[in-house]
Structure 1
Amino acid sequence: MPKAGDLVASLGTTHRSYRRRLRSRIVLSFVLLGFGLTVLFAFATVWASKYIENQLVDDVMTRNIDVYMRSHQENPDAKPTLAVEQMYGRVVNPNDPAAMARLAVDYPEWVRMPEGIASYNGTDENNKPLSYKVAVRKTPDAWYFLAYDTLRAKTAQERLVRWLVFAVALFVGLSLVLGWWSASKVMRPVSDLARLLRAYRGTSNPKPLAPNFPDDEVGQLAEALDDYSARLTEVVQRDREFNADVSHELRTPLAVIRGATELLLARPALDEKVMQRLLRIQRAEQQCTDLIGSLLLLSRNERGQGNTLVARVAEQLLDVHRAQLGSKPLTLRMEGESGLTVDAPESAVSVALGNLVGNAVKYTLTGEVVVRLLADSVEVIDSGPGLSPEDAARLFERGYRGTHAGHSQGGGIGLSIVSRLCELYGWQVGVRPGEKHGVIATLKFTAD
């Protein structure tokens, strides 16, 4: 069961890992919003400028071409005056071949223009850019052309686009600064909450968080964390009290059983069957004591100290199972190095190794079970029915019983206890199929 302080610290660590990402999202949102709005505004400005300018130019040219045409018709010999400086007018007699030839030389594109207003973009004889609009009116006796130079307007339009690009870049920069400032303001309460959470690391009675924050979303989060922390602290406290009570209440009757067994074994001339039963009771009492000690260490999540000789523990376990074999045709033996010692209580080593040996003995109907001692590990090798891939993947899950369990007794928690002990002490446990048949379970007392 984790401590409340550990949970609070883990929440702080989780928030710290996401803080920068959330701040970046806020800043990015501001930047994208600023960029999108300014680009939209710039696009609308350019489009509106072009549209309004085209409408105004077309309207001016339509009115002026009409005035130009009436002025010429009233007095063909007089040169009509134009009110707009950038405009240039020309009248051509379509029935005069010489006039049409000069028009084709001077303005070849005008010859093919229909009535109305047309745009032209190109270059002159000096390769300078040309940009103008031409209003055309055609009668049987005269063609009227009115040209308006739009080069200045085009240059002004390009200058406007450049300024708008600069404005977009400026507003994106301002959005970045504003987003960074806003993100800092928004994230400051969350950062303060994470700082307080990290300060609770290692404590089992954290102080309330809600009084440090206003009644807003962060304050509500702090209240929820306070409530969760209080409930978790209560659960941890009940768990500690339960473990202490169970340990005390179970150790007392076990101590009575041990004392009574020792007194009975001290009597002379005991019957052999009675002697065997008393020894079995004594071994069962020792197993219960070891199991209670190991479970208590697991519940407290603390390592016990010791200097355990693994060979002695293995021999004791094999003796216990030999006494329980009865007529089962099974050989139990130990081989390998005998000097392996582990920095852990004998009870923890006994429970971890005892579950592996017990499983091997339980599921091996005939043949042998070998406990092989290596330099830093122990292998339990049996000649049983083997191991399926599903069993190999889930054998150490709590409550899982292998495919060969059948109607055998057991709740499937023995190997899960082994796995938890390995996590506590930094050991490693695993199973693999044997070379020909059976299973090889390995308990390694060093971490990779």
Structure 2
Amino acid sequence: MPKADVPPEPRAAPRPAPRARRRLRTRIILSFALLGLGLTLLLAFATNWVRGRVEEDMITDLMDRNINAYAERFYASGGRDIGLPVQQMYGRVVGRDKFETLKKEYPEWYGFGDGIHPMSGRNEDGTPFSYKLAVRKTPDTWFFLAYDMQESVRRTEKFERALYIVVPVFTLFSLLLGWWSASRVMAPVSELARRLRRSGTSSDPEALAPYFAGDEVGELAKALDDYSDRLTDVVQRDREFNADVSHELRTPLAVIRGAVELLLSKPELDERTRARLQRIQRSEQQCTDLISALLLLSRNERAVGECDVAKVAQQLLDSHRAQLGGKPLELRLEGATRLVVDAPESAVSVALGNLIGNAVKYTQSGGVIVRLHDRAVDVVDSGPGLSAEDAAKLFERGYRGTHAGHSQGGGIGLSIVRRLCALYGWDVRVRPGETQGVVATLTFG
């Protein structure tokens, strides 16, 4: 058998670790919650901004009209400050002779030009103040009108606190709405999955489409029914083909077995004829075992039974020893004399026979040793080895190694071994020999 420096499983390019995927129901709920949170935040920001702009425009317009009215009342009263009957406003008129006094008392007011100016800060006692100051200046008289903004600031803070409550409430409402919507949307999908799982456990699956409305889920159920029908037809044809092939092949093999046994019972046979008949007998047994193993693989069924691995290994070695011709090759069995596994003899014979057959085929001289352990069998050869490409594809169906040359075979033997191991929970591996060749290990689970 060719040797390998790596396990026989094909090496695939490293694949990125799959990202954790949330359930579709969870994604729908999260989408509703995020949508509700985003819309609520956007609405709260827009409402607060519009409210602030509207209030700002109203106050500015109010102060513009009132300071103009303040100046008109001042001149109409003959230069007397009679005030304004408006709450939250404080007016002051400064004559030319008081300009310098104003500069000392309110330097900010002194420097302002005509217009509306925001003012904020803290009083001497630490309390905050906020107001808007309207200014109208003439050469002889300056008019000032202050509008107290503390009430507006308090309303703004109260409004913002209300938004802090509204946003979580509406987000929670969106979460509940998403949960309800996801439950309604996913209910038919979950029902379809439940019925599909139940249908998969039956040899005669029931139709799914009659249980669903004519929506997208109903269309999916109809497509699954069509696929199930086609798959059932394929499986049925495959079962019938396997049963027919098994029956049709077993019949002539049984005839061959009976004829060979009858011929071998004759005492007048010469040794050469007897050896040829025994070879036919071994080949018939190998064909029978192979048919049984392939039938198990096609049905994916694990047949029960007890198999003495040492006995099977000895029979296989005897069979190959009779076919060596003049090849200088020693075949021997070592190790434990009794290793019994819970499997039919045909399965063990096919799996172990392929490993021994490959070892004998690729080893031109030296020896092939079958070594028995407690729960495993080693097939050790002194063959030419195996390239890296062969090591990667050794157990692929149809692959024939670079050392195959013109030898017969379709390259499916080791593929069958791999499938049998998967069916019975066994394991097959190859590793380099201590000096040359390889060691193929078949471990029974």
TM-score, scaled relative to structure 1? 0.91
Output the CA distance in 1 between the equivalents of 2:231 and 2:430.
36
Q: Tell me the distance in 2 between the aligned counterparts of 1:267 and 1:249.
A: 29
Listed one character per residue, the Cα deviations across residues 135-159 of structure 1 (whole Å, up to 9, x for unaligned) are: 1122222222111111101111111
Q: Match of 1:376?
A: 375
Match of 1:7 in 2: none
Alpha-carbon distance in structure 1 between the residues aligned to 2:301 and 2:319: 28
Give 1:81 shift. Answer: 2.9
The letter for the 2-side match of 1:243 is N
Match of 1:116 in 2: 115
Query: For 1:104 and 1:177, how far apart are their aligned partners in 2?
Result: 63
Report matched runs for 1:398-409 at 5 Å. Answer: 398-409=397-408
Q: 1:425 to 1:243 in 2, by over 3 A?
A: same
Q: Which residue of 2 aligns with 1:31?
A: 33
Mapping of residues 283-302 of structure 1, within 5 Å = 283-302=282-301
Deviations 1:199-235 (A, max 9, x none): 2242110111111111111111111111111111111
Aligned partner of residue 337 in structure 2, secondary structure: coil
Please give the secondary structure, in 1, of the residue aligned with 2:135: strand
Q: How do 1:140-219 residues align onto structure 2 when only pairs under 5 Å count?
A: 140-219=139-218
Question: Retained in 2: the 8 A contact 1:308–1:342?
Answer: yes
Q: Within 5 A, what are the aligned runs for 1:76-115?
A: 77-93=79-95, 95-96=96-97, 99-105=99-105, 107-115=106-114
Quick check: 1:392–1:432 contact (8 Å CA) kept in 2? no
The answer (yes or no) to whether the contact 1:92–1:100 under 8 Å persists in 2 is no
Following TM superposition, by how much is the alpha carbon of 1:198 offset from its aligned partner in structure 2, in angstroms? 2.7
1:390 matched residue in structure 2: 389
Q: Compute the displacement of 1:101 (Å).
A: 3.2
Rounded Cα–Cα distance in structure 1 between residues aligned with 2:317 and 2:352:
11
Query: Does the Cα contact within 8 Å between 2:316 and 2:353 map onto a contact in 1?
Result: yes
Please state if 1:227 is matched with 2:229.
no
- Paired with 2:361 and 2:291, the residues of 1 have a C-alpha distance of 22
User: Cα gap change, 1:76/1:366 in structure 2, threshold over 3 Å: closer, same or farther?
Assistant: farther
Q: CA deviation at 1:196?
A: 1.5
Is this contact kept in 1: 2:81–2:93, CA < 8 A? no
Structure 2 CA distance for aligned equivalents of residues 101 and 403 of structure 1: 109
> What is the Cα deviation at residue 360 of structure 1?
0.6
Contact 2:67 2:143 in 1 (8 A): yes
Looking at structure 2, the residues matched to 42 and 115 of structure 1 have their Cα atoms a distance apart, in angstroms, of 35
1:113-168 CA distances to partner (integer Å, 9 max, x unpaired)?
23211111111122111111111122222222111111101111111111122222
- Secondary structure of 2:323's match? helix
Does 1:421 find its partner at 2:423? Answer: no
Report the Cα distance in structure 2 between the residues aligned to 1:42 and 1:338, rounded to whole angstroms.
Answer: 84
Structure 2 counterpart of 1:55 = 57
Q: Secondary structure at the match of 1:342?
A: strand
Q: Read off the aligned partner of 1:85 and give its amino acid letter.
A: Q
Match in the other structure for 1:321? 320
1:67 pairs, out of 59, 66, 69, with 69
Q: Deviation string for 1:329-378 (max 9, x for gaps)?
A: 21111111111111111111110000000011111111111100111110
Q: Which residue of 2 aligns with 1:14?
A: none
Give, in whole Å, the separation in 2 of the partners of 1:119 and 1:224. Answer: 70
Contact 1:352/1:417, CA 8 A, preserved across alignment: yes
Q: CA deviation at 1:42?
A: 1.1
Number of the residue aligned with 2:126: 127
C-alpha distance 76-381 of structure 1, shift in aligned 2 (>3 A): farther
Q: CA deviation at 1:66?
A: 2.0
SS state of the match for residue 200, structure 1? helix
Amino acid in structure 1 at the alignment position of 2:221: A
Amino acid of the structure 1 residue aligned with 2:337: S
Query: Do the aligned residues in 2 keep the contact of 1:387 with 1:433 (CA within 8 Å)?
Result: no
Which residue of the other structure, out of 42, 45, 52, is the alignment partner of 2:44? Answer: 42
The answer to whether the 8 A contact 2:428-2:443 is kept is: yes
Indicate the percent of aligned positions where both proteins have the same amino acid: 64
Q: Is the 8 A contact 2:83 2:91 kept in 1?
A: no
Normalised to the residue count of structure 2, the TM-score between the two structures is 0.91
- 2:338 and 2:270 map into 1 onto residues whose CA distance is 37
Residue identity opposite 1:101 in structure 2: T
Alignment partners' CA distance in 1, 2:273 and 2:111: 129
- Please give the root-mean-square deviation of Cα atoms over the aligned residues, in Å: 1.8
2-side partners of 1:92 and 1:399: how far apart?
107
Q: Secondary structure at the match of 2:120?
A: strand
Q: How many residues align?
A: 426
Residue 102 of structure 1 and its aligned partner are, at CA, apart by 4.6
Any gaps of 5 or more consecutive residues in structure 2? 1-19
Q: Compared with structure 1, are the counterparts of its residues 406 and 116 closer, same or farther at alpha carbon in structure 2 (3 Å cutoff)?
A: farther
Which residue is equivalent to 2:343?
344
CA distance in 2, matches of 1:286, 1:60: 110
Describe the SS at the equivalent of 1:324: coil
Question: Structure 1 residues 334 and 86, CA, compared in 2 at 3 Å: closer, same or farther?
Answer: same
Q: Matches of 1:170 and 1:373 in 2, distance apart?
A: 72
